[in-house]
Structure 1
Amino acid sequence: MAKRKHMPNNKHKGLFIYCHVCKKHFSWTRKMILRNTKKVKEEPTCGETGKNYSTCKNFEKHRYKSRLHVPGSDGRKASRTHDATNYADAVIQAIDFEKEFKAELQGLGQPIEIRNRQYLFDIQLRYIDFLENIDVPEHQKNTLSDQRKNEIVNCLKIFNEALAKHSINKKLLVINRIGDMHVGLFHDYLLIDKNYRGNTYNGKMSVLKKFVSWAIDRFDIDMKNPFEKVRMIPVMVKRDTITKEEFKNLLKIIKPENGIEIRGKYKRNRYKLYLKDALELALHTGGRREEVI
C-alpha cells in the first residue's frame, strides 16, 4: 500500500515531490513557523483544491522528482522521475541522476538539448498513470480491468529485464534511441529466456508496440516505431465442434441474469431476446455473423 511522501525542510538540492494530478512541485511538506509568538505547523497547499498537503487524496500519485538546471541555458531544466517510495532512497537516486547528468554533459558538449530528451523509464511511469486515467480527458479514458492493467505493467517490466540483461539502463535510455537492436533483445528474451509460446509472445510485442506509439503521439517524439516491424508468430487454432446435447445446454443458460458483464466500473447486460434464435439460425444455415444479423 502506498504511503504519503514527505520532504524535510533542508531537502536535497533539486529534489521535489511532484503530483501527477494537480501538476504541482512540492519542495517541502511541513514546517513550524512563528505566528503571534507561538509556533504553529504550516503545510503547502494542493494545486487543485487549495487544501493542506496532508489532506490530499491522491498521495499514491505523488512521485519524487529531480530537476537540474542545464548550464548555458535560459532557465531550462533536465528532469527525472524516481521510483523511490521514501525520501532516503529518493536522495540516492537523485545523486545517481546528478552524476549521470554531469557525465552526459561532458560527453555531449551541447547540454542545451538534454531538456527535450524523453527517458524510457520516465515515459513508462507516465504511461502507467495514463492507464490509471490520471490527467486523461474524459473522451480518452479507458475501461481496462485491473487485471489487464497489471498485465501491461508486467510486460513493461519484462522489457526492462531484457535491457538490463545487456547492461542497458532503462533510466538512461532515451526513448527515441530504441531501435531494431532493442526489439531484437526483447525478441530473444521472450523466446529463449522466458520460453514463451506464440500467443504470449505476440501479446507482449503488441503491448510494447502500443506503448511506443502512445509515447510518440503523446510527447511528439521524432521517431518511427521499431515494433511495427515485428512479425507475429503464426498460431494454430484448434477448432473443436460440440454435440447436439451440448448445444441445447448452451441455449438453456442464455438468460438475462447470465448476460451481465462488468468491466472496471462499468456494468452492462449483454443478453438479447434474439440470441437463441440467432444461434439456431447460424447453426442451421452456416451463415456468417453479418449474414445472420
Structure 2
Amino acid sequence: MEILERQRGRLEHFPISSFAMVMGLSGLTIGWEKAQKVLDLDLGVTPWLIGTTTTLLVVLCLIYAAKLVLYRGAVIQELRHPVKLNFFPTISISLLLLSIACLPVMPGAGRMLWMVGAALHLVITLYVMNVWMHHEHFQVHHMNPAWFIPAVGNILVPVAGIPLGYTDLSWFFFSIGILFWLILMTIIVYRVLFHNPIDERLMPTLFILIAPPAIGFIAYMRLVGELDSFARVLYYAGLFLTLLLFTQATRFLRLGFFLSWWAYSFPLAAISIASLLMFEQTGQDFYRYLGMGLLTLLTGIVALLLVRTAVAVRQNGICVPGH
C-alpha cells in the first residue's frame, strides 16, 4: 500500500518538461537521417531511432494523461507556472519533429503528425501568449530561454510543411517564430546582463538559444530554396551562440543532474543538421566535418542523458516536489 501511494505521489509530480526527451531523440533521429544522406550511406538506424522516439512519446503521453485524470489540479498549477508553462509546447513540437523524421520513410504518417502537431502548436502558442499578456505574477527573474519554446517553436513548421505543399501556412508559422525570436532574445539578453544569474537548475536551458537561428536557417532554406544573405545570417548566428556556450563548458560540467540537461540535446541536433545542410549548399568540407563532429558529440550526450535519467528515476530523483 505504501509503495502504491509513493507511485501515485510520483505521478502527481510528473513534470511536463519530460517531453524534452522526445525532442532530443527526434533531433538525433533527424540528424542521423541527414548524415546518411550526406555520406550516401544506409546505416539501418533510422527505423530503430524512429521506433524508440515514438515509443517514448506514447509512454509519456499516457503517463501525463493519467496525471491529468487523477491530478488535474497539479496540471493546472503547471499551466499557471511562469517556467513550467513554457514546456507544454514540447508536446506539439515532438509531433512536428516526428513528422520530419517520418516524412522520408512514411509520408502518410509524416503528413498526419504534421497536421496534428501544427494545429496543436498554434493553439498552445495562442494560450501561452494570452497568459503572458494578462499575467499578474510574472517577474523578470522568471525569464529564461525556455520561454522561446512556445512562440519560436513555430519556426519548425515549414521544415515538413513545404515538402507537404503547405506553402502559405509555412510562411505564416515561420513569421511568428522569427518575430518572437527577436523580441524574446532581446529580453533574455537584458535579463542575463542586468539581473541575477539564471538558477542552476535552469542553466542548461541556455543551449535553447542555439535552436531558433539554427532551425530558422533550415526552415528558411526550405522556404526559399537557396543560400542567400539572410540564410547565412541565421546559420552564423546559431554557430556563434554554439561557440559562446562551448566556451562555458566548465560551468555546465559542474552542474548536478536535472531533467533540464535534456536542453543540451535538441539545440545541438539543430546546429549539426544546419551544418550538414551548409555542406550540401556550399560543398565545403569544413561544414561536413563540423556537422558530423557535432552529431557525434550529440550521440554521446543523448546516450549519457538516457543513462543519467534512468538512474535518477531509479533513485527517485525525478517526479518529486519542486522539480
Question: TM-score with structure 2 length normalisation?
Answer: 0.20
Which structure's residues are more often helix, by fraction?
A: 2
Which structure's residues are more often strand, by fraction?
A: 1
Mark the structure with the bigger radius of gyration. Answer: 1
